[in-house]
Amino acid sequence: MPQVPSVQAMMARDEASRGLGIELVDHAEGRAVTRMTVRPDMLNGHAVAHGGLIFTLADTAFACACNSYGPVTVAAAAEIVFVAPAHAGDVLTSEAIVRTRFGRAGLYDVTVRRDHEVIAEFRGRSHQLARPVAGSAE
């Protein structure tokens, strides 16, 4: 059974995502969808969305998918491939999906889209910590 409350508790404490306007749209065990509107203050010197902020959107979906199983899980590694630029006003959606879990590790793929157009592909490797369930009293 998915530990969905752990994802909600984690996001309730995520000041970085909140500050960027990243919202959790949907989640289930091993899956999460996040969304962000690109603001003018998110543009780089070429007037396109800063890659680090696109990475952050994908990373937030990755974190939600990883933590959907309950135990506190963090990123061990991640990489991103930028496919197309995003601009001010674009609404970006990222969908994270578990590919495999093994031991205390997992592998997740995240696709960032503007409507149906792929903006970036992200792959993350997770590591489950030996800590209580996210959001529980320690």
- Model confidence over 13-66: pLDDT tens digits? 999 999 999 999 999 999 999 999 999 999 999 999 999 999 999 999 999 999
Say what the pTM is: 0.90
Mean pLDDT of 126-134: 76
- Model confidence over 62-118: pLDDT tens digits? 999 999 998 899 999 999 999 999 999 999 999 999 999 999 999 999 999 999 999
Which domains, from first to last, does the chain contain? Answer: 4-133 (3.10.129.10)
Task: Concatenate the DSSP letters of all residues of the chain into one string.
Answer: ---HHHHHHHHHT-HHHHHTT-EEEEEETTEEEEEEEPPGGGB-TTSSB-HHHHHHHHHHHHHHHHGGGSEEEEEEEEEEEE-S---TT-EEEEEEEEEEEETTEEEEEEEEEETTEEEEEEEEEEEEEEEEETTS--
Rounded Cα distance, 10 and 20, in Å? 16
- Per-residue confidence (pLDDT) for residue 10, from 0 to 100: 92
